[in-house]
């Protein structure tokens, strides 16, 4: 693992020296400094263990491993210079958070070759949702996979295997959950009305709460929860036919979809306050990803971005460059230059440049309740 991290750090330093993605402005310089400082002080020299549950926003290759599908270039072109199963041109927000802890990127649970599970595992799968709960790779299935992973890890540790998480590691680990976007997206795609979509929210949140209770019941004590982002700002949604533009907000996003996301987040936040009392020994950090991402869209010029709702890798040209039938990876797609500043990579997922900003905002603690540093679980 040490060799892998050394290589990653050398590449990271090289990118920062030349200016992230070909010359960013002061925000990228400040962001790089924040990420580097976090990495240098991470965990007080101790070991970080993370377990992540979610969808494509944090899938580091689970879907690719599970289905045997290799995403073609330009996926992964910026940092890895090859496809890695991430739906991005480079690193995800989760990758930057791992860097801030000076630990390896999380290996997908389903990846059988080349995986390193000494620092945890990633159960997130692109396309995953909470409902229906018995669907392959739903949140509840991801939790069952974790339970098997834990049982098998402890069994092997007892047999003398050293490069796996032990009982103490599972107890001190950070359990991250970032899911719900696909539930809302799928509901709108089925032509449900706004009220019908909102009526599903309690069931979605119930699945998230149940997952946390199961993880807590098996010894987990540290939880980091992301709410969902501004669904109405995704080019995939904006490219759909609409009767008129009256439902667009001042930033060019779809108001009904963003309102549904905000309602989801309000209910999620309320239930987490209640859950903290029930799970008395747990530390639960709730992070407002919606505000981070919406600020990135609304104030894109401040962060050095040119096109907040236009796709870098897509088809169709302005204003969105998105076509559901010709998505990123299709030879017919046009792809922006690496030095161009796009928030959206493929119409649904953010670019590495945008993920850099999102990660730095998370690490600032400004958007977290309580305002704990990301390494709180391993700093002692």
349: annotated active-site residue: yes
In angstroms, the CA 322 to CA 95 distance is 26
Q: In this model, does residue 361 exceed pLDDT 70? A: yes
Are the C-beta atoms of residues 115 and 28 closer than 8 Å to each other?
Answer: no
Q: Which of 59, 89, 95, 346 is catalytic?
A: 346
What is the mean pLDDT of the segment spanning 61-90?
A: 95
Q: How confident is the model at residue 22 (pLDDT cuts 50, 70, 90)?
A: very low
Q: How confident is the model at residue 307 (pLDDT cuts 50, 70, 90)?
A: confident
Q: In this model, does residue 240 exceed pLDDT 80? A: yes
346: annotated active-site residue: yes
pLDDT single digits (tens) 161-180: 989 999 999 999 999 999 99
Q: What is the distance, to the nearest Å, from the Cα of residue 126 to the centroid of all Cα atoms in its chain?
A: 10
Q: How confident is the model at residue 95 (pLDDT cuts 50, 70, 90)?
A: very high
Bridge-partner residues for 51, per DSSP?
A: 121, 175
Phi–psi pair at 239, nearest 5 degrees: -80, -10
Cis peptide before 14 (omega within 30 of 0): no
Handedness of CA 243, 249, 251, 257 (dihedral sign): negative
pTM, two decimal places: 0.90
Helix (H) and strand (E) counts in the chain: 12, 10
**Structural domains in the chain, sorted by start:** 2-231+252-306+353-369 (3.40.50.1110)
Task: State residue 366's pLDDT score.
Answer: 97
pLDDT single digits (tens) 273-294: 999 999 999 999 999 999 999 9
Task: State residue 40's pLDDT score.
Answer: 53
Task: State residue 226's pLDDT score.
Answer: 98
Report percent pLDDT > 90 for the chain.
82
In angstroms, the CA 18 to CA 16 distance is 5
> What are the Cα distances from residue 32, in Å, to 12, 17, 99, 135, 193?
9, 10, 11, 39, 42
pLDDT single digits (tens) 181-207: 999 999 999 989 999 999 999 999 999
Q: Which of 185, 349, 351, 360 is catalytic?
A: 349
- What string of DSSP letters covers 344-377? ESSSSSB-HHHHHHHHHHHHTSTTEES---TTTT
In angstroms, the CA 137 to CA 144 distance is 10
């Amino acid at each position: 693992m040490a060799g892998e991290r050394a290589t990653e750090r050398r590449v990271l330093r090289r990118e920062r020296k030349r200016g992230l993605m070909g010359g960013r402005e002061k925000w990228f310089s400040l962001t790089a400094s924040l990420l580097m400082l976090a990495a240098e002080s991470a965990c007080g020299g101790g070991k970080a263990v993370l377990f992540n549950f979610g969808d494509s926003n944090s899938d580091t290759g689970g879907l690719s491993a599970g289905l045997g599908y290799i995403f073609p270039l330009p996926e992964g072109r910026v940092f890895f210079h090859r496809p890695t199963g991430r739906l991005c041109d480079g690193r995800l927000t989760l990758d930057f958070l791992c860097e801030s802890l000076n630990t390896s990127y999380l290996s997908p649970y389903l990846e059988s070759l080349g995986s390193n599970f000494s620092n945890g595992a990633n159960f997130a799968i692109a396309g995953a949702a909470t409902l229906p709960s018995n669907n392959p790779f739903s949140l509840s299935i991801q939790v069952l996979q974790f339970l098997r992973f834990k049982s098998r890890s402890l069994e092997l540790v007892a047999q003398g295997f050293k490069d796996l998480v032990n009982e103490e590691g599972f107890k001190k680990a950070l359990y991250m959950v970032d899911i719900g976007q696909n539930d809302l997206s799928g509901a709108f795609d089925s032509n449900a009305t706004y009220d019908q979509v909102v009526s599903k929210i309690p069931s979605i949140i119930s699945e998230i709460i149940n997952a946390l209770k199961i993880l807590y019941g098996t010894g987990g004590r540290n939880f980091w929860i992301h709410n969902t982002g501004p669904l109405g700002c995704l080019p995939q949604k904006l490219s759909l036919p609409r009767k008129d533009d009256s439902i667009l907000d001042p930033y060019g996003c779809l108001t009904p979809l963003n309102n549904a996301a905000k309602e989801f987040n309000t209910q999620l936040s309320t239930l987490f306050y209640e859950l903290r009392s029930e799970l008395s020994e747990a530390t639960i950090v709730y992070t407002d990803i919606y505000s981070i991402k919406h600020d990135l869209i609304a104030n894109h010029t401040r962060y050095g971005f040119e096109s907040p709702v236009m796709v870098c890798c897509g088809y169709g040209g302005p204003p969105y460059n998105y076509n559901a039938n010709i998505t990123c990876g299709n030879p017919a797609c046009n792809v922006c230059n690496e030095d161009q500043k796009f928030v959206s990579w493929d119409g649904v997922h953010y670019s590495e440049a945008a993920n850099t900003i999102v990660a730095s905002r998370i690490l600032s603690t400004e958007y977290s309740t309580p305002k704990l540093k990301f390494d709180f679980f391993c700093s002692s």
